[in-house]
Amino acid sequence: MRYDIGLDVGGTNLSAGVVDEEGRVISHAALPAGAGRSIDEITADMAKVSLMAVENAGLTLRDMASWGIGMPSYVNPRTGLLVHANCFGWRNVPIYRYLEPLIALPIYIENDANCAVLGETVAGAAKDFQNVVMLTLGTGVGGGIILNGRIYSGADGLGAELGHTKLFFRGRKCTCGQMGCIDGYCSARGLKETAKEMLTDGTLLWDLCHHDIRKLEAQMVTEAVQLGDQTAVEIWDLYLSQLAAAIGNFIAIFRPEAVILGGGVAKASDLLLNPLRKKVQESTFAAQEIGIPEMRLAQAGNDAGIIGAAVLEKYGIDRREK
């Protein structure tokens, strides 16, 4: 039996697991990401949590074939540098130089959203498809594309940044430094910003945040929607319209077989998916004539990124220039 380590690096948590050759996660381990610490401290914990997962599986490092890592950035294949990890403030970091002394395994690094869509293809909602667009609606908006059964990330491996395509000209400032990105509107953070702009006192949503806009969280919007708060309904409807416009763009470009939605906002389930399908139908080129792709919620959950990272070697994905 083959085993690989998969590590999903996020701005909040470092989540690791051991994955067997059938794509099953047989153990888990997690540590806080601790954004703001030094790169030495964070990479040390990346190794630590990965070794914890091996130990939790009752195995040793000798049993592992590879160490796959999903990072909130890309590795530039020409330089081997990790390009732009917003959540850690890293720019052009020689990431392999930090990691290689820590665990004596072949290391494979890929964008975290690409790992998530790969994980869903291996063991989740995208198993039936060869052409998929996936959006992870979390703190930010991650994007992953599968074309003809393979991850697509452009000629140089640095593309498919779906969350940083533009929704509005000169819109909100994004964490990437650009203006008007999909990330700034369709992420949980974007939903919260929209809610702050539209929130009024005397509403249930105002009560849920204890009359303090600084305490407002994205999940409070969906909670208030379910309780019938009209302001929350309007906020949610605007959010869905913006998300539908973004998805319609990607459908027009790629015409995938399926669009997969994951991340924290997708936990709204039918509150998200049912009205979103209708809005996507209304906002997608030629949808009335040729229809829209199937839309599904991600199934592998937090394991998607771990599975996708663990199978990087198996799928021959190595972004370093040979």
> Domain holding 156: CATH number?
3.30.420.40
pLDDT of the chain, 322 residues: tens digit per residue: 899 999 999 888 999 999 999 999 999 999 999 888 999 999 999 999 999 999 999 999 999 999 999 998 888 888 888 888 878 888 899 999 999 999 999 999 999 889 999 999 999 999 989 999 999 998 889 899 999 988 998 888 888 889 999 999 999 999 888 999 999 999 999 999 999 999 988 899 999 999 999 999 999 999 999 999 999 999 999 999 999 999 999 999 999 999 999 988 998 988 999 999 999 999 999 999 999 999 999 998 889 999 999 999 988 877 775 4
How far, rounded to the nearest angstrom, does the alpha carbon of residue 203 sit from its chain's CA centroid?
Answer: 32
pLDDT of residue 88: 87
Instruction: Write b or e for each residue in 118-141: b if 16 or more Cβ atoms lie within 10 A of its Cβ, otherwise e.
Output: bbbbbbbbbeebebbbbbbbbbbb
pLDDT of residue 126: 93
pLDDT of residue 78: 85
pLDDT of residue 314: 87
Residues 84, 91 contacting (CB under 8 angstroms): yes
Looking at the structure, do residues 86 and 25 belong to the same domain, yes or no?
Answer: yes
Looking at the structure, do residues 60 and 189 belong to the same domain, yes or no?
Answer: no
pLDDT of residue 51: 98
Looking at the structure, do residues 109 and 157 belong to the same domain, yes or no?
Answer: no
What burial class does residue 291 get, using C-beta atoms within 10 Å of its C-beta: 0-12 exposed, 13-18 middle, 19+ buried?
Answer: exposed
Write the DSSP symbol of residue 166. Answer: B
Give the chain's domain count: 2
Looking at the structure, do residues 132 and 113 belong to the same domain, yes or no?
Answer: no
Inside any domain, residue 322: no
Inside any domain, residue 246: yes
Sequential DSSP letters for 81-130 = -EEEEGGGTEEEE-HHHHHTTT--S-EEEEEHHHHHHHHHHHHSTTTT-S
Looking at the structure, do residues 102 and 233 belong to the same domain, yes or no?
Answer: no
Looking at the structure, do residues 52 and 169 belong to the same domain, yes or no?
Answer: no
For the full predicted model, state whether its pTM sits above 0.85: yes
Looking at the structure, do residues 158 and 92 belong to the same domain, yes or no?
Answer: no
| 3-state helix/strand/coil string of 168-185 | CCCCCECCCCCECECHHH
Report CA-CA distances (Å) from 116 to 93, 142, 169, 214.
Answer: 22, 9, 29, 31
Write the DSSP symbol of residue 75. Answer: B
Domain that holds residue 33: 3-119+303-310
Looking at the structure, do residues 96 and 179 belong to the same domain, yes or no?
Answer: no
**Long-range CB contacts (< 8 A, 24+ apart) of 34-43?**
35/11, 35/87, 35/88, 35/89, 36/88, 36/89, 39/88, 39/90, 39/93, 39/98, 40/98, 42/88, 43/95, 43/98, 43/99, 43/102
pLDDT of residue 321: 57
